[in-house]
Amino acid sequence: MNARAVKIGIALIILLAMIPLYYFFNPAAAKEKAANSKNEKSELAAKESTAQKSQDEKKETANEYSKKDPEEAAAVNNGDESLKEESVTSEKASSEEKKEIQRDFLVVIDPGHQRHANLGKEPVGPGAVEMKMKVTGGTSGVATGKPEYQLALEASVILGDLLAKQGVKVIYTRTTHDVNLSNKERAEFANQHKADLFIRIHADGSTDKNVSGLSVLTPAHNDPYTKAIYEDSLKASELILAETKKNTSVKVNGISYRSDLSGFNWSQVPSTLIEMGFMSNPVEDRNLSDPTYLTNLLSNVADGILQYASLKK
Ligand SMILES: [Zn+2]
């Protein structure tokens, strides 16, 4: 071994020994380096978990859609493939915003009729000379024997639950059959609560047992009492009708414009009334008492209301 090689060897050893010495005498530099690598790791983990969460949420949405409409489910899935982190974040923000909006949207649901009719009279509208019965007994099922007031409450609770699940605020005019609430009082209840939508749930009856189908009743254009709510009411009625038409198991008749209903005429908030079907038709009567049929139909009604809510807020 010559002296030159020994010198180079010693120099190398000294150089190597300098590295830990540098960190030993300069602990701040070491800490910073460690901290940086830690931050990078946790940031990465956070990003990954956000992306995973959004993916999961999207999948859930897709599954929900697929129950109802395979076309929409396909659309959501296609979007999934071209996911970019930015779009995920903004979509997430907008869906949270949507929930926030719906929380501010109040629907007053009025289950039609009550156990005991009140055949006393009240004006058909504010300042009207014409008088109308306060609240009638409603119809009843020709096959099931179920009174309309009972079906109306059953349906209202299902509809309310569907809306509440979507973050909509729901209040009922009644939750029992033993009330004494006139149609005017029901409308005033919606006014007092400043409802964004007053929805009345009924079922039809006819002397002809062959007549069937769902109708949406809306304030008439020429009704002097409902000028202020005509347009919004019609919008809500149309959106609900369009959604129910998507349901192939439900016969849908259309919109009926009414100026004779106290429940509309006393209302200062947008109002609509769903006649879910004819209880005088044996098939439809049985259908309306089938929880699957009824829930299906009401999920269409809820979808229409949600569309109206997103338009208005
Ligand atoms: Zn009725």
Q: pLDDT, tens digit, for every residue of 155-210?
A: 999 999 999 999 999 999 999 999 999 999 999 999 999 999 999 999 999 999 99
pLDDT tier for residue 313 given thresholds of 50, 70 and 90? confident
Distance separating alpha carbons of residues 95 and 284, to the nearest angstrom:
37
For ligand 1, the distance from its centroid to the CA atom of residue 204, given in whole angstroms, is 6
Strands 214-219 and 271-278: antiparallel
Beta-carbon count within 10 A of 92 CB: 15
For ligand 1, the distance from its centroid to the CA atom of residue 58, given in whole angstroms, is 41
For ligand 1, the distance from its centroid to the CA atom of residue 141, given in whole angstroms, is 12
Cβ-contact 219, 271 below 8 angstroms: yes
DSSP states along 234-276: HHHHHHHHHHHHT-TTS-EEEEEEESS-HHHHT--S-EEEEEE
Q: What are phi and psi of 271, to 5 degrees?
A: -135, 150
For ligand 1, the distance from its centroid to the CA atom of residue 113, given in whole angstroms, is 6
| Protein residues within 5 Å, CB atom, of ion ligand 1 | 112, 138, 202
Residue 312: predicted pLDDT: 87
pLDDT digits (tens, 9 = 90+) for 89-129: 444 445 555 555 555 899 999 999 999 999 999 999 999 99
For ligand 1, the distance from its centroid to the CA atom of residue 162, given in whole angstroms, is 22
Tokens 């493939």 correspond to: 81
Give the mean model confidence (pLDDT) for residues 120-144. 96
State both tokens at 20. 């830990």
For ligand 1, the distance from its centroid to the CA atom of residue 152, given in whole angstroms, is 8
The structure's pTM equals 0.69
pLDDT top residue among 2 and 311? 311
pLDDT digits (tens, 9 = 90+) for 245-291: 999 999 999 999 999 999 999 999 999 999 999 999 999 999 999 99
Domains and CATH numbers, the chain: 11-100 (no CATH), 104-312 (3.40.630.40)
pLDDT digits (tens, 9 = 90+) for 228-248: 999 999 999 999 999 999 999
For ligand 1, the distance from its centroid to the CA atom of residue 276, given in whole angstroms, is 10
Question: Which candidate, 273, 189, 182, 263, places its Cα nearest to that of 226?
Answer: 263
For ligand 1, the distance from its centroid to the CA atom of residue 114, given in whole angstroms, is 10
For ligand 1, the distance from its centroid to the CA atom of residue 193, given in whole angstroms, is 23
For ligand 1, the distance from its centroid to the CA atom of residue 149, given in whole angstroms, is 8
For ligand 1, the distance from its centroid to the CA atom of residue 14, given in whole angstroms, is 97
Partners of 43 in beta bridges: none
**DSSP 8-state assignment for residue 198:** E
Residue 104: predicted pLDDT: 87
